[in-house]
Amino acid sequence: MLRQDYITRMVQEMVRMLLKLMFGIEAESPDLEMFRDAQARERTERLLMLADEGRIDEAENELSDILESCVPEHMQTGLLFYWHLNEKDDAFLETHDFSREEIRDGLEQVVKDSGMADLADAFLEIR
């Protein structure tokens, strides 16, 4: 339980830090309002809806496709997606066969795919 809480806090801090550093967005609790582009907001909203329905693997696959384009703004989608999952309680995650570790790993991959592998390694060194 303590490890799960630690992972939750690390994910929260990593997302906040990256939003501030990369996009100048300061948000205590990031949400769809941070997207200026309507298309990006709609795309992200779809991923969050899939996650809310428990279709997390499907949402992750779509996110992976989105991130392949290497557009910096798409990183916001990944950050908000994993923030959103991180807000789910353990029972929801367990019911849908997902874990805090998978959230951390997914966030780490988003950061590495954005060319910041060293930052991800340093910040998420909780294994």
Rounded to whole angstroms, what are the CA distances from 118 to 109, 121, 124, 125, 127?
12, 5, 10, 11, 15
Helix (H, G, I), strand (E, B) or coil at 86: helix
Tell me the pLDDT of the chain averaged across its residues: 84
Task: Report the Cα 80 to chain-centroid distance in Å.
Answer: 5
Q: Is the predicted pLDDT of residue 28 greater than 50, yes or no?
A: yes
For 42-58, how does the pLDDT look when each residue is reduced to its tens digit (9 = 90+)? 999 999 999 999 999 99
Neighbouring residues of 75: CB distance < 8 A, sequence distance ≥ 6: 18, 22, 67, 110, 114
The confidence score (pLDDT) of residue 99 equals 93
Per-residue pLDDT at 126: 46
- Residue 37, SS3? coil
Q: Of 26, 125, 24, 11, whose CA–CA distance to 79 is shortest?
A: 11
Average pLDDT for residues 87-99, to the nearest whole number? 95
Q: What average pLDDT does the segment 13-37 reach?
A: 81
More confident residue, 40 or 122: 40
Q: Residue 119 — very low, low, confident or very high, per pLDDT cuts 50/70/90? A: low
5 burial class (0-12, 13-18, 19+ CB within 10 angstroms)?
exposed
Give residue 2's pLDDT: 63
pLDDT confidence of residue 127:
44
